[in-house]
Amino acid sequence: MKPSSKNFEFRVDGRSDRARAGRLTTPHGDIQTPIFMPVGTAGSVKGLTSTQLEEIGAQIILANTYHMHVRPGEDLVRELGGLHGFTGFRRPFLTDSGGYQVMSLAALRKRTEHGVVFRSHLDGARLEFSPERSIEIQMKLGADIIMAFDECPPWPATREEVLDATERTARWAERSKRAHTREDQWLFGIVQGGVHDDLREASARAITSIGFPGYAIGGLSVGEPKEDMVRILEVMDRALPEDRPRYLMGVGTPEDLLDGISRGVDMFDCVLPTRNARTGQLFTWRGKMSIRNAKFARDASPIDPSCRCPTCRIASRAYLRHLHLSNEMTGGVLATLHNVFFYLDLVGKARESIVAGRFEAFRKETLLGFSA
């Protein structure tokens, strides 16, 4: 059965081995997949305006339910037109459930079957998140795609701890679905299971049996070895429905994106391009670059001569180095523009190669360039 909600559709336009090129239609526009979603934790991608994001081709951005709840609050956001009206970003939004952030406050939280009681990282105020509360907040925020409330097990964790979190995630997914009433949003279920193949398969069966229009793969890139993440992605590729979008949460490096795309993942988010930009760590088609390096002091060339981003059109490596060493805000902005554009360009070129039926060749060529 095709998932149905108001103004939503997902279709696969092309394949290259297991890689998929798709199109996700939302009330705020179409998203061509595979896609990278810049992270705007507090409703803002650090250093960039909504206009800049749209100009460099951002098709969807992510906001964080927990952070938007503690400040400025979901009621204020709803009053001012939801995330779109509040931020001025006119394209689709996705909100995570807040579960990962709440679970990361290990010293400040107490988890029960009902939900999680914890202390705000801002002022220590007592807060409580449950599946129903998370969905209520996300409906008020008004993102196009929202997430079921889940429990992400820590790394490392015992098998028993992972099993407990995985089974609770399924029970919370059922409650999340019952609480969700907006037809102009898609609610995704989240698969957990750590690095255990059988628990991942069991979680996928449980979550897909509840029935969601899309599925997220949670609990990866939390410290596990790279080979474990790749193996679990192969398990997920076999276990998740072919006709629903697949979202790999919180991942990752450019190499990780290519690994995920080659195993049927459609959507990604990660803070890496923005966080690295603020320290002068830049991504290029020839690998990573530290712009603070002394060898760039008199280098008049752009970050990457093949890049079409606004930064590479106007700024030299020498100028960017100067800005970063001087702690000028402009340096972080220009670096962030470049890094986010690079990630968007990477998935865009990956999509073109899938449609052309040559993704694996593209992946190998790109990885070879990164190591040059």
Average pLDDT over residues 313-342: 98
Residues 6+ apart with CB under 8 A from 112: none
Q: Residue 25: helix, strand or coil by DSSP?
A: strand
Average pLDDT over residues 26-30: 98
**d(C-alpha 371, C-alpha 57), whole Å:** 27
Confidence of residue 3 (pLDDT cuts 50, 70, 90): very low
The whole-chain average pLDDT of the chain stands at 95
CA-nearest of 176, 143, 183 to 40 is 143
Could you say which of 256, 269, 304, 345 is catalytic? 269
Q: Is 123 a catalytic residue?
A: no
How much is the pLDDT for 1? 35
Could you say which of 96, 144, 259, 345 is catalytic? 96
Average pLDDT over residues 136-156: 96
Check whether 108 has a pLDDT greater than 90: no
Domains along the chain? 9-270 (3.20.20.105), 272-372 (no CATH)
Q: Is 269 a catalytic residue?
A: yes
The dihedral built from the CA positions of residue 250, 184, 202 and 17, taken in this order, carries a sign that is: negative
The fraction of the chain above a pLDDT of 70, given in percent, is: 97
Burial of residue 24 (number of CB atoms within 10 Å: 0-12, 13-18, 19+) = buried
How much is the pLDDT for 260? 98
The dihedral built from the CA positions of residue 120, 276, 54 and 365, taken in this order, carries a sign that is: negative
Confidence of residue 288 (pLDDT cuts 50, 70, 90): very high
